[in-house]
Amino acid sequence: MIIGFKGRWSYKQFNSTKLKKYHIKSFGLVDSTTGYVLNLLTYYGSDTSYNPDCDPDSGIAIKIFDTLLNGLGTGHYIFADRWYTTRALVDHLVAKNIYYTGIIQTNRKNFQARAKNPEAGTHGINIPKTTDEKIMCVSFKDKKAKNLSLWSQHVQQWNLCS
């Protein structure tokens, strides 16, 4: 979540590719139905205060999600962009019984190569087999490869066509 800001503040960031070049970086937990912001975490660089119960050695995405989801409970569905999606985050949310859907960056580790790079020239859906029954990766390639990482507890109940 980027909040445009031109005032004086030491944590203001600059990105020449954005419409609002000067901004405050923040992470938000937003209800998809109403659009209400449920929780907001402002980024202060190394001074950002994450959830104290979070493991300090965990990745930044896990720290952000632990802070935003603190006290929310289980069984929720999270949709996030490619910046957050890591295998460690997906495994962390699986342990907390939280559903996650996100796009995979092709340079991320611990994801199958076939899920990140579908066969050239194929059109349609590619469902690579995973050893973990709780995670399903779906790749779709039309003109450009678009990859999704889906997690569900009920993968074995789905009837998937090949």
Domain that holds residue 22: 1-49
Query: Is residue 83 in some structural domain?
Result: yes
If asked whether residues 92 and 31 sit together in one domain, one would say no
Query: Is residue 32 in some structural domain?
Result: yes
Tell me how far apart the 2 most distant CA atoms of the chain are, in Å: 56
Query: Is residue 127 in some structural domain?
Result: yes
If asked whether residues 114 and 146 sit together in one domain, one would say yes
pLDDT at 4 over 80: no
Query: Is residue 54 in some structural domain?
Result: no
pTM higher than the cut 0.85: no
The whole-angstrom distance between residue 120's C-alpha and the CA centroid of its chain comes to 26
Cβ-proximal residues to 65 (8 Å cutoff; 6+ apart), any chain: 78, 84, 89, 92, 93
pLDDT (0 to 100) of residue 127: 53
If asked whether residues 18 and 74 sit together in one domain, one would say no
If asked whether residues 65 and 16 sit together in one domain, one would say no
If asked whether residues 14 and 83 sit together in one domain, one would say no
CA angle 16, 18, 20 (to 5 degrees): 100
Query: Is residue 55 in some structural domain?
Result: no
If asked whether residues 120 and 71 sit together in one domain, one would say yes
Q: Which two tokens stand for residue 19?
A: 């419409």
Name the range with the highest mean pLDDT among 8-12, 25-29, 123-127: 25-29
- Which tens digits make up the pLDDT trace of 30-55? 888 898 988 888 877 776 777 667 77
If asked whether residues 32 and 75 sit together in one domain, one would say no
pLDDT (0 to 100) of residue 145: 57
pLDDT (0 to 100) of residue 119: 58
In the chain, % of residues over pLDDT 90: 0
Mean pLDDT computed over every residue of the chain: 72
Of the pLDDT bands very low, low, confident and very high (cuts 50, 70, 90), residue 160 is very low
If asked whether residues 41 and 68 sit together in one domain, one would say no
Helical spans, DSSP H, in the chain: 60-68, 87-95, 113-116
pLDDT at 103 over 70: yes
If asked whether residues 81 and 156 sit together in one domain, one would say yes
Give just the sign of the alpha carbon dihedral 35, 85, 59, 131.
Answer: positive
Written as one letter, the residue type at 161 is C
Query: Is residue 3 in some structural domain?
Result: yes
If asked whether residues 82 and 40 sit together in one domain, one would say no
pLDDT (0 to 100) of residue 1: 66
If asked whether residues 138 and 158 sit together in one domain, one would say yes
How many domains would you assign to the chain? 2
Segment 100-125 mean pLDDT: 63
pLDDT: is 154 or 19 the higher one? Answer: 19
- Measure Cα distances from 38 to 29, 34, 93 in Å: 5, 10, 18
Rounded Cα gap, residues 68 and 72, in angstroms: 8
If asked whether residues 113 and 146 sit together in one domain, one would say yes
Query: Is residue 17 in some structural domain?
Result: yes
pLDDT at 26 over 60: yes
